[in-house]
């Protein structure tokens, strides 16, 4: 399999990143953490503990940070990983399977939440249906893409929100999506903190408004952290 670069954008998420780095076997992948200058102090212990990781500062904004990481990445595959999402142990197999499919230019992992709550299983089912019916994964599914395809569309658009949906829609002109069965486990902390129904309803509202043509700059006003 070709070389893979894992790019992790971080903003005020040091604890989540620490858990992800400690629990994930990155195999021989290049790992790039794109953080903001304001996170320098909190990330200092991790930088000392993981000297083999490429640490860099980037302008704040998930799209900007991921583009900055991609700009220095050496891999022929780029895997964009949220700080609070953990890859399965055999994650390289998903990329290898996609690489053997010439018509596929990008892929994603199966969405799983680290919660035993019944609502988590319902959400996971909803995401599987969304990906199966609309071929629309979100960023918390650890999207991976051929470097050539990413460069061909100009990378992430400089959007304050919905940058992952925008990327997926533009990537479709380069090849098809190949969803993997391997699970990527995402923290359920936001749902647990703000409420399962509230967060889910917010996500649905945002995606509906986005496809109705509301600009991401306006959608940012509806997003609650």
pLDDT attached to residue 222: 67
Q: Which residue has the tokens 């680290």?
A: 114
Q: Return the CATH number of the domain spanning residue range 4-193.
A: 3.90.550.10
Compare 201 and 8 and report the one with higher pLDDT: 8
**Largest alpha-carbon pair distance within the chain?**
46
Q: Tokens representing 79?
A: 């895997």
pTM: 0.95
Of all residues in the chain, what percent carry a pLDDT higher than 90?
Answer: 91
Residue 12 has pLDDT above 70, yes or no: yes
> Residue by residue, what is the 3-state secondary structure of 36-74?
CHHHHHHHHHHHHHCCCCEEEECCCCHHHHHHHHHHHCC
Of all residues in the chain, what percent carry a pLDDT higher than 70?
Answer: 97
pLDDT, tens digit (0-9, with 9 covering 90-100), for 80-126: 999 999 999 999 999 999 999 999 999 999 999 999 999 999 999 99
- Ranges of each domain in the chain: 4-193
pLDDT attached to residue 225: 61
- In whole angstroms, give the CA distance from residue 139 to residue 94: 16
> 167: which strand partners?
none
Q: In the chain, count of helices (H) and strands (E)?
A: 10, 8
- In whole angstroms, give the CA distance from residue 89 to residue 25: 6
pLDDT band for position 48 (cuts 50, 70, 90): very high
């Amino acid at each position: 399999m070709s070389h893979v670069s894992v790019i992790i954008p971080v903003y005020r998420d040091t604890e989540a990143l620490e858990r992800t780095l400690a629990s994930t076997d990155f195999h021989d992948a290049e790992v790039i953490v794109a953080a903001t200058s304001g996170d320098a102090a909190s990330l200092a212990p991790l930088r000392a503990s993981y000297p083999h990781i490429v640490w860099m500062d980037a302008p704040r904004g998930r799209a900007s940070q991921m583009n900055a990481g991609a700009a220095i990445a050496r891999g022929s595959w780029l895997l964009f990983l949220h700080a609070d999402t953990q890859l399965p142990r055999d994650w390289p197999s998903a990329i290898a399977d996609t690489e053997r499919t010439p018509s596929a230019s990008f892929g994603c992992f199966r969405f799983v939440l680290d919660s035993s709550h019944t609502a988590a299983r319902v959400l996971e089912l909803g995401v599987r249906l969304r990906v199966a019916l609309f071929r629309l994964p979100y960023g918390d599914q650890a999207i991976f893409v051929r470097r050539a395809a990413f460069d061909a569309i100009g990378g992430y658009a400089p959007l304050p929100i919905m940058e992952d949906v925008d990327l997926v829609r533009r990537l479709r002109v380069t090849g098809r999506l190949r969803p993997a069965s391997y699970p990527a486990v995402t923290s359920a902390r936001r749902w647990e903190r703000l409420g399962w129904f509230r967060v889910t309803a917010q996500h649905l509202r945002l995606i509906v408004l986005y496809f109705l043509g509301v600009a991401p700059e306006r959608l940012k006003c509806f997003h609650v952290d």
